[in-house]
Structures are given as structure tokens and as C-alpha cells.
Structure 1
């Protein structure tokens, strides 16, 4: 027979009150019902816990030994139930997310700040990685959701939201590309380009755009991180192509960003989870906020 926590609570109440009458009143029970609970607990543990007569109630030696143990068990289980309810209603829990560095450095801090205001007990596990690694982390269930780039047809994933991010050319203010409002793809032909490394979502878009146009990019260097690409542009190694949402684009006063007048230079953005996996309630709240945020992503005119 399993321990019944109502029975434990009844025993603790009687032990503290030293009276079935007072304990029954505190528990809002009838005395016969309270007596049944105490007898059931004694049968479960296999030992008498209370000595009682018409005048008083006293703990047996076994009752004195077990009282602190049962009090701790009841306290721990109440905390377990409280924590479980908090996880269920989204007032507690951990948001585990992998996302592209672009978004980790732009919209993610604001999203975390807003959710922490709404759910102070929320915790966050963040991995800012390139698109291929986002997918890997979601597939392995190291994270629950991922904000990744590129078209996604993998049946392992469920798409929660899809949007786009327009790419721009980043160049020095004195560069000839900075003179116009837009840059055409043919303007990039023959220029040294600082492109993010293969495997990044931006690079996949750029390679596909050049391949479809018949132009061959002149690649000067291939850093992994956007901030490194910006530093290389600042150092005169070429121009780079980055998402318009990237904070790195605005970080350098000596550089400017110009949209590329070609619909091929658009990066798909996809919010995903592993198919068949249930999201924690707090993560559901985070997903709703993230969908609103990335839903406002720039669209190509």
C-alpha cells in the first residue's frame, strides 16, 4: 500500500494539536474521517503512531521517530507539486533555444527581458550558432526550439514560423557602392568580397544568388562571424554581405549598409522544434513573443 499524503498531513496535524478534535477542525474534517486516515497510515507503515484515549493523544516512540521524516516528506512533495504546477502553467521553467548569431545579438535580449518581466522564474539556455548547428541542436533535443536560416524541408522538424531577412552590402562610406540607394548584383562582380564561411545561412543565400546569375564572386576571405567580417571591411579587405537585421551593420560609424536590388538576396528565417516533442509552457510563451518579433522582419519590396 502506498503512502497517502492526506493521511500524512492528518497525522502531523494530530501530533501538533495533541487532539483529534482540534486537528479535525483545522483540517475541516469530521473526527471519524480523521480517525480513518490515521488508522490507514498506521496500517501502511506497519506500526502504531499515536496512543489515544478519551482524555489525550500522545505520540508513540515510533511516532516521535517518524514525525520529522514524514514532515520532510510532505514538505518535499508539496514543493514538487508546486514546481510541477508552475511548469505546467508556464510560471517557471527553462527556455532552451539555439539561434543564429544575428538574432542572438539583436532581438533576443529584448525577448528575454520581456519574458523575465512576465515570468520572473523563467531561466534561459542559449546557444548562438550557425544554421547547421541550430538544426543539429534541435534534432538532438539539446534545445527545444531553434531559429535557423535557409529553406527547411527536413521532416524531423516542425516549422513554428517562417519569415525572411533581407541581405545588404556593408562597405566604407567612401566606397563607390555607398553612393547609391541600392546595389545591383553586377556591381558586386569583380569586387573583393568578405563572405561568411560555408555552412552559414548567409553564405548559402549568397552562393545561390551568384550561381543563378552566372557571376563568380571574388572571395577575399571567409570569416565565421559577422563581427569579424565587419572588421575586415573596416581594414580595407573588401565589402561584405550581411543580414539587414544584424547589429554589426550599425556598429561601425565609418561603414554604411545598402540594400541589394535582387530578390535572390533574401535569407529565409525559420523557427523550428523537433517534430513530436512537446514544448514546455514557458517556452510556448517565448515562442509566441518571438513569432511576433520576427514576424515584423523586413520584406523585399
Structure 2
């Protein structure tokens, strides 16, 4: 059936205006062109929809029955067009981000606040998960963007931005490691450590650093969440090693934080998307803002030694 939207809009306009002349003016059409649209619609449906006289035009019974149907179709289409234009203009939409928990609570939150100040109708879905899960969500197109630790070498993933995140040791204020001129891997190996779960990007960096130095860490506990590790340090179970970007390292006022003086204790961080896929406009715009805010901890003024704020 060759029924098109111009024909439906022409019919609705004639009925609402009660005149071909007025409807043609509203649609910016010539009256003969409008008449052709109505004729083609009636030919397609094989039925008369309008009764015309020299002075009036009125819908037939079938025309009255079809009028609300056509109006609903046109109204829904107009809404879709408006939504599409709003999406293209980034006025609204949903941005789905899979991220490491350390960034979810830090730089990402700051970026969302800034972005929503300019685009208040844009909403966010945040999945704060470990590194491998970030990759899985982006690869499966369940997230538009991902913030993941470690070097990414996957043909299904495009890396949009790379940076590095220095790891810090977290310790009680009176711990002897705080008196050292610098924190080395040799110093860390002398103390019990609370390490992150083996599936995390932080743990991968720590394990590689110790293995590369030919040393073994003294593992007192393992934790999945950074705040758990911080709480264990506060309880006196050992030291922990966390990213400098993590706000958890500032959660306990009686603890201290120092960067580890070893380039092997740096975590690569990548902003990623699914390769070969176009992101929604809102996600594209947000991506640029996140790239500006994901910076090395040293660039944000983190200092060694003093009490954590």
C-alpha cells in the first residue's frame, strides 16, 4: 500500500481547516498540489474520504474514523523527529559508562557535574566494575564508554585516550615507612600488605612490579573494594597500595598517602569505546570532557607525606 505521510498530513490539514484554500496556505502548497495529495490518498485506500461542495468540505464517515488514526501517526512521528533533533543537539539522551570504581567516585563524578550543568536533560547509567568487566560491557555494547586500567589490545575496542595513574602506599600516620626519604619496592616488601583482588587492574600492576624486581609481597589480606582495604589499614593489619586518583585514599584522616618511587607502580588508564561503532551525540560530547579530566594524580596537586584531607 503506497500510503505516505504527506498524504495523511494533507488530509488532516483539510479537515482541521475546513477548506482546501486554508489548508494549502498552512502547508505552503498550491491548491492543485494539495488536491493531488488527497486524490492519491483516496485512490490508495480505494475510498472517498472527503465530501466537497463549492463552499464546504467535510470528512465522510470513513474519513471521520481515519482522522484520529492519522493524527496519532503524525503526532508520534513529530515527537520522534523532535527527540532525534534533541539527541543530535545533545539536549537529552542517556550516556552509559562502564568504569573502574576509583574513577566512578572521583574524576567521573566531577565530569558528570560539569556536563549536566550544560546539558541538564542528559542522564547517566554508571556501571562501576573491575577492569575485565569494563571491557566486556563495552565489547557487548552495554556501555557507550569505558574507563579501564591496563593496556588495552583488543581489535573490538578503540582506545580514545590514554593516561597513567601513579600508585600510592597508604599507611598509619606513625608507621616507619613515613620517615623514609622515598618509598621503594624494597621498603614495601618488608611490611605486610593488603592487596586488591587478583582480578583488579591495581593488583595486576603490583604483581608485575614485585615479580619484575624479583621479590614477593608479604600478603596479609586481599580486598575487592578499596574502602575495605583502607579500613584494614586503619585497623593495623598492614599497608595497602591504591591509585592516586582514588578518593578512598583520603577517606581516613589518621592515615597518610605517599606515591611509590618506582615507575613500575603506575597503572595505565584508557578511555575506550566499541570499535567501528558511532556513539550517541551526548556520549560523544561527554567523551571529550572526560578526556580533559582524566589526568595524572600529580597534575591535581596530590602531595606525599601530609595528612590526607
Return the TM-score normalized by structure 2: 0.93
Specify the SS of the correspondent of 1:90: coil
Q: Deviations over 1:264-297 (max 9, x none)?
A: 1000001111211221111101110111111455
Residue 199 of structure 1 is matched in structure 2 by 199
Structure 1 residues 122 and 46: alpha-carbon distance in aligned structure 2, compared to 1, 3 A threshold: farther
RMSD of the alignment, in Å?
A: 1.6
1:77 counterpart SS class: helix
Q: Scaled by the length of structure 1, what TM-score is found? A: 0.95
Mapped contact 1:138–1:146 kept (Cα < 8 A): yes
Structure 1, 184-193 or 115-124: larger mean CA deviation? 115-124
Q: Is the 8 A contact 2:165 2:296 kept in 1?
A: no
Listed as ranges, the matches of 1:1-301 within 5 Å are: 1-180=1-180, 182-295=182-295, 297-298=297-298
Deviation at 1:45, TM superposition (A): 2.5
Q: Secondary structure at the match of 1:207?
A: helix
TM-fit CA distance, 1:196: 0.3
In the TM superposition, what is the alpha-carbon distance from 1:79 to its structure 2 partner? 0.9
Deviation at 1:181, TM superposition (A): 5.7
Contact 1:181–1:258, Cα closer than 8 Å, also in 2 = no
Separation of aligned partners in 1, 2:276 and 2:128: 24
Poorly superposed stretches of 4+, deviation over 4 Å: none
Any gaps of 5 or more consecutive residues in structure 2?
Answer: 300-309
Inter-partner Cα distance in structure 2 for 1:146 and 1:2 = 45
Alpha-carbon offset, residue 259 of structure 1: 1.0
How far, CA to CA, are the matches of 1:288 and 1:16 in structure 2?
Answer: 47
Instruction: Give the Cα–Cα distance (whole angstroms) in 1 for the partners of residues 120 and 4 of structure 2.
Output: 33
Distance 1:227 1:181, change over 3 A: farther
